Amino acid sequence: MRLILLGPPGAGKGTQAQMLVERYGIVQLSTGEMLRAAVKARTPIGLKAKDIMARGDLVPDDIVVAIVADRIEQPDATNGFILDGFPRTVPQAEALDRMLGTRNMSLDGVVELKVDEGSLLRRIENRNAEAVARGEPLRADDNPDTLRKRLEAYRVQTAPLASYYAQQGVLKTVDGMAAIAAVSVAIAEALEPAKRLTQRTGAGPKQPGVRRGGGRETVSRETATSNSVGSKSHT
Ligand code: AMP
C-alpha cells in the first residue's frame, strides 16, 4: 500500500500513520520528522530548514521532494509507505506523481482527516502538556503564533490537494474529530477497496496514473465522542 495522510497540524496524522504502519506492514515517512532530524544533526538541509520551520513556514519544495525521492528508494519502503506531511503543495504533489510514475508505482489512497480548526489550538496545547508531563522537550514550532502560521500555510498551500486527489479518484475523507480508535476504523473502512485491489494485484509495482474511481468519499464515525492525541509525532 502506498498512502498519503492529509490534514492540518494537530489533526492526528502521526497517530493514525503509526496505526497504518502496524495494520499494513508499511513504513511511515514523515517529512517533518526527517527535517527535525536534519536540524538536530546540523546537516546542510537542516541548517537551511531550521529557521523556516521555527517560523511555521514551508521548507522549499525542491528540498522536501529530494528527501522523499531518496527515502522511497530505501529497502524498507519496498512493501509500501505512508506519507505523513508530504505533499504539502500542488508542485510537491506533481513531483510525487512524476516520482512514482518513473518507478512504475501509483498511490493506493489519500486519506484526508477533516478537523475543526478551532479545536486544533486546544489539541496542540494538550499535546504540549502531555509532552511536558513525559519530560519531553517541546517542538520549537508548537506555540500559538507559529501554529497559526502553520494553519494558514495548510489552508492556502495544502488544502487544495484535496481537490487534486479527488480528481485522481483516490481521495477518502474521514472525520478526524472522532475518537482516535474510531478514526482508525473509519480509515480502515475507507481503504478496504484499495487493500483488496492491492492483495489481488500483489505488492509489486502498479500501472502509474490508474484512476481508482469515485472522486471524494466521506467516512464518518457517528459514535465517536472525543479525541485526544497521545503520540509525540501526531501532526
Ligand atoms: P510537521 O511535523 O509535518 O508538522 O512539519 C513540521 C514543519 O516541517 C512544517 O511546519 C514545515 O516547516 C516543515 N515541513 C514538513 N513537511 C514539509 C513539506 N512537505 N513541505 C514543506 N515543509 C515541510
pLDDT at res. 218 = 55
Residue 70: half-sphere exposure toward Cβ, Cα within 13 Å: 8
Amino acid symbol at 69: A
Is the separation of the CB atoms in 55 and 153 below 8 Å? Answer: no
Best residue for ligand 1 mutational test, from 15, 58, 115 (most atoms within 8 Å of Cβ): 58
**pLDDT value for 209:** 41
Closest CA to 115 of 215, 7, 205, 28: 7
Take atom 11 of ligand 1 and give the residue whose Cα is closest.
Answer: 58
Q: What is the pLDDT of residue 131?
A: 86
**Residue 127: all three cell numbers together:** 499535546
Question: How does 88-112 read in b/e, with b if 16+ C-beta sit within 10 Å?
Answer: bbeebbebbbebbeeeebbbbbbbb
Following CA atoms 150, 81, 92, 113 in sequence, which dihedral angle do they give, to the nearest 10 degrees?
Answer: -40
- CA 109 to chain CA centroid, Å, is 12
Atom number in ligand 1 closest to CA 13: 3
Q: What is the pLDDT of residues 155-195, one digit of tens each?
A: 999 999 999 999 999 999 999 999 999 999 999 999 988 87
What's the pLDDT score for residue 73? 92
Closest CA to 86 of 127, 49, 35, 41: 35
**How many whole angstroms separate alpha carbon 229 and alpha carbon 214?**
31
Segments in the chain below pLDDT 50: 203-215, 220-234
Residue nearest to atom 10 of ligand 1 (CA): 56
Q: What's the 59 CA to ligand 1 centre distance in angstroms?
A: 7
pLDDT of residue 217: 53
DSSP assignment string, 179-220: -HHHHHHHHHHHHHHHHHHHHHH-SS---TT-------EEE-
Superfamily of domain 2-204+212-219: P-loop containing nucleotide triphosphate hydrolases (3.40.50.300)
Which ligand 1 atom sits nearest the alpha carbon of residue 92? 19
In this structure, the residue with its CA closest to atom 6 of ligand 1 is: 32
Domain ranges of the chain: 2-204+212-219
Distance of alpha carbon 128 from alpha carbon 123, whole angstroms: 9
Residue 4, strand partner residues: 83, 110
Quote the pLDDT of residue 228.
32
pTM to 2 decimal places: 0.83
User: Which pLDDT score, from 0 to 100, does residue 235 have?
Assistant: 53
Q: What is the pLDDT of residue 201?
A: 64
Ligand 1 centre distance from Cα of residue 161 (Å): 15
Who lines ligand 1 at CB under 6 A? 9, 31-32, 35, 52-53, 56-59, 64, 85-88, 92, 141, 150, 235
Nearest CA to ligand 1 atom 8: 32
- 8-state DSSP, 104: T
User: If we measure between CA atoms, which residue out of 184, 224, 217, 227 comes closest to residue 17?
Assistant: 184
